Structure 1
Amino acid sequence: MEISYDDLRALMEKGQSLFLVDVRTQQEVDEGRIPGSLHIPVDTVEEAFSLEPEAFKAKYGVTKPPLDCPELVFHCLLGKRGAAATSKANQLGYLHARNYAGGYKEWSEKTAQ
């Protein structure tokens, strides 16, 4: 399941319960990020979202989203790692998890205009 740039922008502007996860490497994140995103590298997504809520909050500083979180969105640079992370979240029971397929590349191009 995917989400478009325009839909993601709309969610951010509404200030709804968007839980945006950046699954790129630390080096990529250091070069720029989507505001409000939480960095959880793709190879640690399964482990992170398997944590107990208290452990998740202790490690990432935010409340772990519930399984029925309506706006759980993963993204990477171009979409492939985001899709893998979304799939992992679905396997863990996050039914509404989506991938921002345009990734940081599309985001940075569109917001630079």
Structure 2
Amino acid sequence: MKNNTLLLSTILVVGIAVTTVVIWYILRSGSCESAGTVQVRGGKYMKLAPSVAKGSLDDDSDIILLDVRTQEEYDELHIPGSILIPVNELEARANQELPDKDAVIFIYCRSGNRSRTAAYKLLEVGYTQVYDIGGIIDWPYDVSSNKEK
């Protein structure tokens, strides 16, 4: 009887651990279509999974893909077709380099923190279709480098 109780306890603990790992992986991988929206003064903040962003970028060449990391990070690795405006320069450069406030803009950074900050900044100054696609570290598709090999 004692062995059965020990076996059942072990199975329960392993089951909980496996379930926890699976849930963590699903949330980490961004496999949901989007992570919801938050109303901001200028519009809605929305986070998109990489798969959704990639499909949209493949279907619509008018989407602006904005990298908000540093020049050095961009030179090291970036998503093809992206433009660079570092997040700390965004407020000074946005009106000139992103004149259409109704354009669809997908923003990314390294891990998703700066892209979220940049998305909120753009929404606050009147951009209406801003989407955070997270970090390049979670981007499973093609990337480019400006570094000499």
Fold conserved between structures, TM > 0.5: yes
SS in 1 for 2:93: helix
Map Cα deviations across residues 87-112 of structure 1 (whole Å, 9 max, x no partner).
Answer: 010011012111112x11011xx237
Q: Which runs of 4+ in 1 moved over 3 A?
A: none
SS in 2 for 1:2: strand
Gaps of at least 5 residues in structure 2 are 1-45, 143-149
Bigger Cα Rg: 2
What TM-score comes out, normalization by structure 1 length?
Answer: 0.78
SS in 2 for 1:10: helix
CA contact (8 A) 1:19 1:65 kept: no
One-letter amino acid of the counterpart of residue 36, structure 1: G
- The sequence identity of aligned pairs, in percent, is 30
Residues of 2 paired with 1:41 and 1:30: CA distance? 12
Residues of 2 paired with 1:83 and 1:16: CA distance? 23
Gaps of at least 5 residues in structure 1 are 57-63
Question: Does residue 1:5 correspond to 2:50, yes or no?
Answer: yes
Q: Relative to 1, partners in 2 of residues 1:19 and 1:65: Cα closer, same or farther, differing over 3 Å? A: farther
Match of 1:67 in 2: 101
Question: Does residue 1:39 correspond to 2:71, yes or no?
Answer: no
- Structure number with the higher strand fraction is 2
What TM-score comes out, normalization by structure 2 length?
Answer: 0.61
Q: Please provide the CA RMSD for this pair.
A: 1.5
Residues of 2 paired with 1:40 and 1:89: CA distance? 12
The alignment of Structure 1 onto Structure 2 pairs a total of residues equal to: 97
Match for residue 111 of structure 1 among 141, 144, 147:
141
Which structure would you say has the larger RCO, counting Cα contacts within 8 Å and 6 or more residues apart?
1
